[in-house]
Amino acid sequence: MVKDEVGNHYGRLTVIKRAENNKHNAARWLCRCICGKETIVDGQALRAGNTKSCGCLNEEVREATCRKRSLTHGMTGSRLYYLWTHMKQRTQNPKNSKYKYYGGRGITLCEEWQKFEPFRDWSMQNGYNDNLTIDRINNDGPYSPSNCRWTTTEVQLNNRRDNVFLEFNGKKQTIAQWARELKMNVTTLWMRLYHYNWPIEEAFTKPSR
């Protein structure tokens, strides 16, 4: 015989009336949540405490957790947080598309920067702004306070381990340095030289559209 649950309270739910049995022929009950919504719940789930609301309780817990995480440093959606997460991924996640260029060749993320807050504090104390990128001074060294700096894209390109110096009119510079001197987009210059295989004189002197 099924116990009458009408009027009983379980968490945020109050049992209103008997509902149609479930597919296993076990009793179910129509309940009203304190938020005003109604929901049908298996009697066993009610008595075991597995279901305590119409779903609003779980949603509130999720929202509270998200707020707590956000309040930890308040920068979850920021560019700086994005750069930090990608730094961790390419040094520590073998499934990351850039891992082979970083973690795969021994580039590590220091213990101090495993958490965002110390990285954020170091960044703010060392000139970070949204126009700069993080650069390792020693390209074979780790991401750490002693080996990193915030620089322009040009400086970072000049620090690449695979940089090639180009000589033109007796002067030797990296492609980034030449692009700046010629007032040309560095990608345009690179494409001329390495994609279209233009002679260096034509690549350097032909006006951009």
Domain membership of residue 91 (yes or no) is yes
Q: What are the backbone angles phi and psi of residue 68, rounded to the nearest 5°?
A: -65, -45
Q: Are residues 91 and 140 in the same domain?
A: yes
The CA distance from 174 to 168, in Å, is: 11
Domain membership of residue 2 (yes or no) is no
Domain membership of residue 121 (yes or no) is yes
Residue 58 pLDDT greater than 70, yes or no: yes
Domain membership of residue 53 (yes or no) is yes
Give the tens place of pLDDT for each residue, 97-136.
889 989 999 999 999 999 999 999 999 999 898 888 888 8
Of residues 88, 80, 78, the one with CA closest to residue 128: 80
Q: Predicted confidence band at 161 (pLDDT cuts at 50, 70, 90)?
A: very low
Residue 192's pLDDT is what? 86
Q: Are residues 149 and 172 in the same domain?
A: no
The CA distance from 37 to 17, in Å, is: 14
The CA distance from 140 to 67, in Å, is: 38
User: What are the structure tokens assigned to 22, written together?
Assistant: 């479930």
Q: Are residues 108 and 146 in the same domain?
A: yes
Strand segments (E) across the chain: 9-10, 13-19, 28-33, 38-42, 133-136, 148-151, 165-168, 171-174
Domain span at residue 193 reads: 165-205
Domain membership of residue 4 (yes or no) is no
Q: What are the backbone angles phi and psi of residue 37, rounded to the nearest 5°?
A: -80, 150
Residue 160 pLDDT greater than 80, yes or no: no
Domain membership of residue 17 (yes or no) is yes
Residue 166 pLDDT greater than 80, yes or no: yes
Q: Are residues 199 and 137 in the same domain?
A: no
Q: Are residues 86 and 143 in the same domain?
A: yes
The count of domains in the chain is 3
Task: Give the H or E element holding residue 122.
Answer: helix 116-125
Q: Are residues 150 and 174 in the same domain?
A: no
* Torsion (CA) 175, 178, 183, 186 in degrees, nearest 10: 0
Asked if 97 contacts 53 with a C-beta cutoff of 8 angstroms, the reply is no
